Amino acid sequence: MRKTQKEILYRLLQYSLFEESQNDRNDMNEDALFEYPWFESYFTEKDREACFIREAESERLLGFVMVNTYMQKGGSGHSIAEFMVLPKFRRNKIGKKAAVMCFEKYPESWEVSPSCGSEQAYLFWKNVIDEYTDKKNEYEDGIFRFSKIPVDNPK
């Protein structure tokens, strides 16, 4: 990711953290920024990946996703660390398509923790994951857990 893209991602992340701050305990610091200690790791560690969500035809920026291999409940797999679609583009399946693309890129175990205290985030992820897994997932302690083995790669 180029430096300008990194700066854009940071600004989008700040917007997302601001939006989440309505429900969690994350406060701005003295520089009016929300702390995110793992941000630089997305550019230095191979087990972390950040991508923009863009409109296919125009390449217009619609949001972002950050994925890592930190599993809160143990085991190995991938986790959605941060995920945001700009409000203007929500409710038209852009987020669902982006989430499924992530799940398909790493067809193994997954954990997804909806934004703490956000009913909207919980319902979004519940609907996406239920459809993706045919309702074969677990939800405990605020974390969805699931795996889906691709049909062309049975174990």
Question: In this predicted model, what pLDDT tens digit does every residue of 93-112 receive, in sequence order?
Answer: 999 999 999 999 998 899 99
Cβ(41)–Cβ(48) under 8 Å? yes
* pTM reported for the whole predicted model: 0.87
φ, ψ of residue 143 to 5 degrees: the values are -130, 130
Cβ(146)–Cβ(105) under 8 Å? no
Question: In this predicted model, what pLDDT tens digit does every residue of 60-98 receive, in sequence order?
Answer: 999 999 999 999 998 899 999 999 999 999 888 999 999
pLDDT band at 151 (very low <50, low <70, confident <90, very high): low
Q: Which residue's structure tokens are 């809160």?
A: 72
Alpha-carbon distance of 86 to 148, in angstroms, equals 28
Nearest residue to 66 (alpha-carbon basis) of 45, 48, 53: 48
3-state secondary structure of 96: helix
Question: In this predicted model, what pLDDT tens digit does every residue of 114-144 receive, in sequence order?
Answer: 987 788 899 999 999 999 999 999 999 999 9
Type and span of the H or E element at 55: none
φ, ψ of residue 46 to 5 degrees: the values are -75, -20
